[in-house]
Amino acid sequence: MTKKLFVQAIGKYFAGVALMGLLLFLPAGTLRFPNGWLLMGLLFIPMLIAGVVMMLRAPALLEKRLNTDERQPEQKEVILHSGLMFLAAFVIAGLNFRFGWLHLPSWVVHAAAVLFLLAYLMWAEVMRENAFLSRTVEVQEGQTVVDTGLYGVVRHPMYAASLVLFLSMPLVLGSIFSFLVMLLYPPLIVRRIRGEERLLKKELPGYEEYCARVKYRLIPFVW
């Protein structure tokens, strides 16, 4: 671990906390937005723990996860559209609370919170299994195909975990309108996966054979 990596990780973490806080509580018009605090806790407490673990045990992996410099034009578009989707969903959730449009039942919120944590555990397991995980679409020097564990079930378990994470977020916030906005995410992630697989089949030895063995990309028996 280097001082530069530590400063970068801490800076991005607190910037994320501040940005989400603004997107949720400013439209809500108050800090007394319980669902907002629930999501903040569910998201940032495990993130802090995971970040500390990676910083101490796998700093190279943490450095890859902090790199967001996407090079593929198609993937840049996916990231941009995803960012706009998140912005709209969080702002709408705050406005939904502020004006009392429609609040989901508490059992839906609690069930979504459980799903969120389970998806976070899946995300952590994927991080443990694959040391080559990056937030950008690329083939790294010395990279090999990982086909064990969750990678023996679907080819993109990280995206499968993110699908559950992101679709559960608006439900934790108690907003069906935000959930409808987040339904834009599955088509975006499908586009990202298709582009990523084109690159991997071209540049990563053994990936095409892996695709023949593990037939499903995201959801077993579906796609």
pLDDT in tens, 161-219: 999 999 999 999 999 999 999 999 999 999 999 988 998 888 888 889 999 999 999 99
pLDDT of residue 162: 93
Residue closest to 133 by CA, chosen among 44, 61, 54, 218: 61
Q: Where are the domains of the chain?
A: 3-213
74 contacts: CB under 8 Å, gap ≥ 6: 191, 195
pLDDT of residue 137: 61
pLDDT in tens, 100-137: 999 999 999 999 999 999 999 998 888 888 877 766 66
pTM: 0.88
pLDDT in tens, 131-143: 777 666 666 667 7
Options 3.10.20.600, 1.20.120.1630, 3.40.50.2300, 1.10.150.120; CATH for 3-213 is 1.20.120.1630
**Which of helix, strand or coil describes residue 61?**
helix
Share of the chain above pLDDT 70, in %: 92
Cα separation of 29 and 49, whole Å?
A: 30
Sign of CA dihedral 204, 209, 213, 214: positive
81 contacts: CB under 8 Å, gap ≥ 6: 184, 188
Residue 1 pLDDT greater than 60, yes or no: no
202 contacts: CB under 8 Å, gap ≥ 6: none
